[in-house]
Amino acid sequence: MRGPATAPPAPAGHRRPLRTAVPLASAALLLPLLGAAPAQPAPDSSAHRLQRAFATAAADYHVPQSVLLAVSYLQSRWDRHGDAPSVTGGYGPMHLTDARTALATAEGTTAEHFAGGAEDARGDTARAASHPTAGAPAPSAVPARLRTLPKAAELTGVPVARLRTDPAANVAGGAALLAAAQKELGGPASADPADWYGAVARFSGADDTATAAAYADDVYDVLRAGEERVTDDGQLVSLAARPGLAPDTGGLWRAGLRTLPADGTECPRSVSCTSVPAPYEEFGDDDYGNHDLGDRPASQRIKYIVIHDTEGSWEGVMNLIQDPTYVSWNYTIRSTDGLIAQHVQAKDVAWHAGNWDVNSRSIGIEHEGFLAAPDAWYTEEMYRSSARLVRYLARTYGIPLDRQHILGHDNVPGPTASTIPGMHTDPGPYWDWRHYFRLLGHPLRRTAGPRSGVLTVLPDYDTNRPVYTGCTAKGLPCPEHGSGEVRLYTDHDENAPLVRDIGLRTAPTDGVNDLSSRVSTGQQYAVAGRWGDWTAIWYLGQKAWFRNPAGERTAVPARGLVVTPREGLASVPVYGRAYPEKAAYPAGVPAQSVVPLPYTIPAGQRYVTGDEVPGEYYYAVTFAPDAHRVVVGEDRYYEIQYGHRVAFVRAADVTVEDGAAAGR
């Protein structure tokens, strides 16, 4: 969804946490060797000081260093995030949480985000637009999983302010929490990481057994695989692999955590999943919400998975999804521990994408996070839980794992010309698609020779740092941060104008929500030219240039099919939905107009195609599902990567070619 004009809070506490479900042991029992906030030492410029901090904290609190490192990797991938809080009020490498102020502010943005402004989440002109009016939920009590930072302060004697900003103190706070959890579970202060499974599970902050176990399993996956990376502030941190490590899981069952109701949820066994149903209720004359009953995949194939972010906290989102007058989506994933809530069954059609054609062929997944807050990071545990869910759904419904089928909400086209400016822009430029596809088991990589006519956008996320504005206020620069997106120009010169999207009817900007001149990691385009360190692609009916220097590639050669206008056609229209021809509609089902968007593909241009789809329309404008119909026409369409968003062209208008060969 579209990020707010002003970003979510950066108050004293606002990110995702670690917590324990049972009262922690007293500080006196935990060797708080840092004492009561001694003066900070002189800065150490060494690239290994964070690694030493892990070693020191592990020794001081008798926690295996490998366990401390693996937990921190799931919390933050060892990054500092400029001391800014995460979406759930978490700070530092251990993601210690103090979310009181953050939650109060974040909940105020949630309803506005899902209401969508100009976007109709249902996206169907056959029915009145759905613009939900539910207000923001009242602030709720802050759960214990979002209060680990003050607990760490209590255990260590270190002030909260220092735990937020001093990475060494933050790591020590995390070690103290782990040691407390181990003691409460009756576990030994063992040097063997296999003995710490229960404490790790409790550290997740989950209050149910399945979520805590899923989190601990991920920590032990990290321990077995090992990791090494340079953090966002230049620290080299490494964790040696322990491939044969088998944890003792018995400690978890002594924790007394609850069991969440699964109620027939559609999730893989490798994640924790609970049911929080979106209600299907009628309010009057065919006025109902917040989704439609269906019979997928028997009636229609599920072809897409759409990735969203919530622009608000878990608690607020759970309140809204249970409001029958609101909109809906299929799943939400919690930042702190990766818990998945399913709201709408896959057979039914949720109202989430702003395009009815895409809604009727897709599953929507919301992730707790903020588009315009680059340091309110998407946690590693959430990425991993999401990837497992998407792998499961892709396998179940035969959905290819590529960027033509795993879409961001920002890739969904406006169904008509008037809807284009109001379409949402989440998950935004700070979602790490490259890392996500690695977790999906389909890493993005070069797949063709250097002269291929197709490329895959693939910048290095950490070092690729385009300038964005508007995160906190219009025109003000966003914090410098890694990004998976690359900016496009009208010529091979960074002083040239940005590429314009005529559908937006405004001049392009570097605003964080302005998609006119941006391509995203994993998207594929046909090559339109090369000039030194610059490469051009066909984009929105024009030639668009981006920097792609040798040794610092932002795109790599790829294989793929492309479409181009049939011989003799000067141009072909582009559509925002793949609806059937008028003759296909049976009696009683009004024919939907097939109106092109304000875009074309001129002769000679090529666009990568992701799939061939039938012209289909799911007629569902009444509460009673016995009146619903799936209309299938003779017309076929190709989904194409047209701009930042995908689009559709009629198969009868284009010729399909081998894109790799087209560049030779």
The CATH number given to whatever domain includes residue 212 is: 1.10.530
428 and 368: one domain? yes
* pLDDT digits 0-9 by tens, 279-288: 999 887 778 8
Structural domain includes residue 542: no
Task: Please list, in sequence order, all residues whose beta carbon lies within 8 angstroms of the beta carbon of residue 424, skipping any fewer than 6 positions away.
Answer: 1, 2, 116, 119, 308, 354, 409, 410, 412
Instruction: Burial-class residue 42 by CB neighbours within 10 Å (0-12, 13-18, 19+).
Output: exposed
Determine the average pLDDT of the residues in 479-498. Answer: 97
Alpha helices in 193-240 (DSSP H): 197-203, 209-225
82 with 178, same domain: the answer is yes
568 & 658 share domain: yes
For 463, counting Cβ atoms within 10 Å of its Cβ (0-12 exposed, 13-18 middle, 19+ buried), the class is exposed
Tell whether 106 and 201 lie within a shared domain. Answer: no
Q: How confident is the model at residue 118 (pLDDT cuts 50, 70, 90)?
A: low
The verdict on residue 458 lying in a domain is no
pLDDT tens, residue by residue, 288-297: 889 999 999 9
Going from the C-alpha of 109 to that of each of 3, 103, 225, the distances in angstroms are: 10, 10, 39
Report how far Cα 100 is from the mean position of its chain's Cα atoms: 24
The verdict on residue 201 lying in a domain is yes
Average pLDDT over residues 512-520: 97
More confident residue, 514 or 252: 514
Is residue 545 very low, low, confident or very high in pLDDT (cuts 50, 70, 90)?
Answer: very high
Secondary structure, 3-state, 317-334: HHHHHCCCCCCCCCEEEC
Q: Domain boundary residue among 228, 254, 280?
A: 254
Question: How far, rounded to the nearest angstrom, does the alpha carbon of residue 148 sit from its chain's CA centroid?
Answer: 24
Quote the pLDDT of residue 307. Answer: 98
60 lies in which domain range? 27-36+44-96+143-254
Q: Read off the tokens for 574.
A: 């582009």
Helix (H) or strand (E) holding 162: helix 160-165
Residues 190 and 217 in one domain: yes
pLDDT for 98 beyond 60: yes
Q: Answer with the one of 200, 227, 254 that is the final residue of a domain.
A: 254
Residue 2 covered by a domain: no
Whether residue 660 is predicted with pLDDT greater than 50 in this model: the reply is: yes
- Rounded mean pLDDT of 352-376? 94
Can the peptide bond before residue 297 be classed as cis, meaning omega within 30 degrees of 0? yes
Last residue of a domain, one of 185, 220, 254: 254
Per-residue model confidence (pLDDT) at position 114 = 55
pTM of the model: 0.91
Quick one: 116 and 224 in the same domain?
no
Residue 23 vs residue 489, higher pLDDT? 489
Question: Total domain count for the chain?
Answer: 3
Whether pLDDT at 33 is above 60 = no
Same domain, 148 and 236: yes
Token pair of 69 as six digits? 């490192």
* CA 225 to each of CA 211, 230, 347: distance values in angstroms, whole numbers, following the listed order: 21, 17, 37
Do residue 275 and residue 188 come from a single domain? no
Classify each residue of 100-120 as buried b or exposed e, where b means 16 or more C-beta atoms within 10 Å of its C-beta.
bbbbbbbbbbbbbbbbbebbb
Query: Are residues 432 and 340 both part of a single domain?
Result: yes
Q: How far apart are CA 475 and CA 479, in angstroms?
A: 13
pLDDT at residue 257 in the model: 84
Q: Average pLDDT of the chain?
A: 89
**Is 297 domain-assigned?**
yes
Q: What pLDDT was estimated at residue 19?
A: 30
Domain harbouring 394, CATH code: 3.40.80.10
Identify the pLDDT of residue 138: 52
The verdict on 147 and 109 lying in the same domain is: no
Give the Cα separation of 204 and 336 in Å (integer).
7
Q: Do 109 and 250 belong to one domain?
A: no
CA distances from 232 to 47, 338, 375, 461 (A): 11, 23, 11, 11
